[in-house]
Chains A and B, each alone.
Chain A
């Protein structure tokens, strides 16, 4: 459970960050519903006890069997942490020992980006030699989420709304700007944030969010008051919302009777309404109570009471008018002592005592420290400097119940211990805590809390934004929101997290890709942008969008990858035949002059081959031969393709057809062939690849009619080369004869 600083210390309002956050974050008695495992699986939730808190020494010991004694210890310790069972948990209750005896263990790996992971069962023998036959449950994988990190759709709506407000506030407010109450925009945004939170907690029915709302409301009432009302009124308003007394039903039960005044709880109700600052309700009750007094003194007293109640100073001028109004209340109390009717006299004196801020009366009538504090602040002296004094008077009689987390949070707020309040809010909801810390930071409320102990730590507001940002980044659809928060933190930490995670975001479409690249550009993440684009181009290739891949690679000037794509295209085509290119690639191949320069340069070998095939298909064998000859003479052609391309030449060296190549080209090809054969590595690779193409042809269900392999599918690869050599010689001799 919680262990806070003692009340005398907390009253100072200045605990250090290290004292507030040195302890581990307890897992509290109420967990947020959106946590999927908690919703979908059984769970126990108790406060977490840290090993640091226990000060336990850590012995060096070897492997231990899990004895029954230790199991008992386990159970004890297990009871201290938030525990949930995996969906379809494979071990029956109480059968852990049997499972262990089967030589099993549990393994788990976190997702590289998301806030979940996969658990699976493995055997303990590292050689994989299973002694026990694997049961079906043991061959399953078990998804598991990090507790307190999964965001439901409903909660995501809140996250997005809060983020929109944050952005608007960031645009409207400059941190560190002058804080002129009349120009302070923070209360307006604080009110909006509170409304967003209120809507969310009602929509989600989330206990922790509701508790966070109470603390948040208390903090805003204390420090971000709308100029239209006083701080005392705001705090009373917070109290009336978080703990309404008397309830509407209680009031109605009395006021709907025939003679409300005769009801035993009438004065108690009236006084409670007054204590809660509900002046009009209180006045109306007095007016409509059907009191049986006709004497002038009583009538006058009642009129004075309602008049005082209805003229209670409110808003901006309340502070100035309070002293005068309180004097009226004191005078009214004296007037009441003269009343003849005991019942009326007693009731109105108590009312007067409340209104004049009598400490004893307020302490007597109140039921909680919140009520005492709010009432004293409203009636006794609404000077902000006295709030802490009232709080201590209140808690002396009504100690704070620190087991109720929202109460602990509000106590910290009222005591002026903002770090502690933020720490408690962080336990309830990091998103809320981060935004509240941002409001506090903008109002310079955290400046005094940094000290030597926190020198190496980031500002707490930033740490909260980082924690919230990481959660957003790990949730589908909110990475960009997370990045906004991370970007808005000081130092390198937030940027480092963006840098680390940005390449993990799967660009499922070009819009997402563009957004990622925009962030890279903005933050000067050049290498990450390169990685993202290369990875995207690989994805495009796997989707057969080669042209698009080339365009993106061109955008980052990656010639290496473009060249690789060209050769992959050629390899694939030589093996499997020509396939229809995608629209963009088609454009590049058909109209190379319209290509960006770098694409034109690197696509050229494949474009040449593509032209060869097209000419062949159109029956223009001379043009086809010219294209192929150019490719064979290309100085940077990888040796492994040479053999297969020679094979393509065979149909063009047919003596029964008109000659397709001039002597010079034929001799140039022979020279290239000679150079290729002279290089053992290129030759070996080329012959091997040629064999592969022939093998692919043998296994193909069908080949194009003009595929050269149709005629030579069963010819060994080296024989193909020999055949080409022989035909080249024939063609040269033919050319020689024809040119005589």
Chain B
């Protein structure tokens, strides 16, 4: 697989794969988005389309799930998020929505990754506000409404002076939880260590509605928080819940892994930081209070959710634990991303290296190799 000249006229700031990994979008300071298609069997990329998408630097891209058609969101220094749609498999794109609530450049945009959560889009920018938009009518994707907005870390922003002093660098990132198998408290409450495997409730027997908890992770400067949709006074709304602690400098990227690789037993979130560390946090479900008895009734080894939900239905939280951390980059780390099962993590940064980490049998992560953007001397090749 050879390097590919994209045709951009300035640096590339982000790339995004479509859900299948078949299409690749790139965005740049040249204000263009370019779309490439994977050519089988060589796995090389071929340019499919190119269009001017913003009036300033484009920072981030995200594809929506394919059941909503080919939708691509972009965000820019021009303070907008734009949604583009293609009805001809990526050959042309038409802008269908412009979301301009941000009061500063928008750094990152992300569509929901789990189908059961509907078509939602989150973004965050230099105003430190995370915003969630919702296209309530999937048959009319031109209509988006702002469902949520909140300053991620107001105290931190003020303390760092980012809001006031533009010359100081700040960074912000966001990522949705990709899994629909997060266990609600009534689920975990049914687990008993004495149960043998056949007695355990099986995730695959439960419906999305029974399992899915809508949540995302957002970073603002050096703070990282989980936001979760919770039932509050009869209304579902996002709330800032757990903090992922320990970052001593700006967090450049956050990535929430699929929990499939661990059978839904816990969640993994990776962060990339200016302090030179790649961190992997393990989030294990902890129940707050006892669920009412109605939630425990199940049939045929499954757990069913009683219609009559108690107040504590949504009351669960995570125990956050730093599973692993690596400083192998010995310099600022900018990007982290996971494979489909959440078993392989990549990190990249100022050392011009991509590092790959893999979950070992014990669940801890170990290095599996490095891809270098620096040429390797001929004598080492000969060795």
Residues in chain A within 8 A of chain B (CB atoms)? 17-18, 21-22, 24-25, 27, 36-37, 41-44, 48, 50-52, 58, 60-64, 66, 70, 73-74, 77-78, 81-96, 99-100, 105-130, 134, 136-149, 456-458, 460, 463, 466-467, 470, 473-474, 476, 490-493, 495-497, 499-501, 503-506, 523-527, 530-531, 534-535, 538-539, 541-543, 560-561, 563-564, 567
Contact = CB atoms under 8 A, between A and B. Distances in A.
Contacts of A567: 139
Contacts, number: 402
Most buried by A among B9, B105, B179, B380: B380
Nearest to A100: B350
Contacts of A61: 248, 275-276
A60 B279 CA distance: 12
A527 B330 contact: no
Interface in B328-364: 328, 330-332, 334-335, 337-341, 343-344, 346-354, 356, 358, 360-364
Interface residues of B, dominant DSSP:
loop
Interface in B70-98: 70, 77, 86-89
A25 B358 contact: yes
B12 A122 contact: yes
A621 B345 CA distance: 66
B237 to A, nearest CB: 24
Nearest to B57: A128
B375 A531 contact: no
A99 B351 CA distance: 10
Interface string B119-150: 00000000000000000001100000000000
A142 B338 contact: no
Contact of A42 (B138, B261, B265, B375): B375
A538 B66 contact: yes
A86 B337 contact: no
Contacts of B29: 128, 130
Given A110-B339, A143-B43, A138 B11 contact: yes
Contact of A535 (B65, B263, B358, B371): B65
B119 to A, nearest CB: 12
A64 B248 CA distance: 12
Contacts of A470: 261, 339-341, 343
A126 B139 contact: no
Interface size class of B (residues with CB under 8 A): 35 or more
B207 interface: yes
Contacts of B22: 506
Contacts of B43: 114, 116, 143, 476
A564 B291 CA distance: 41
Contacts of A136: 5
Interface residues of A, dominant DSSP:
mixed
Contacts of B343: 467, 470
Contact of A496 (B203, B339, B375, B378): B203
Given A108-B337, A126-B169, A524-B205, A503 B115 contact: yes
Contact of B330 (A70, A86, A93): A70
A526 B21 CA distance: 23
B159 interface: no
A58 B263 CA distance: 29
A531 B65 CA distance: 9
A146 B20 contact: no
Contacts of B87: 541-542
Contact of B376 (A43, A112, A490): A43
Contact of B204 (A82, A474, A492, A504): A492
A496 B364 contact: no
Given A100-B352, A148-B368, 6 more contacts: A77-B330, A83-B369, A108-B346, A110-B337, A134-B9, A497-B261
Contacts of A25: 358, 360, 366, 368
A51 B323 CA distance: 13
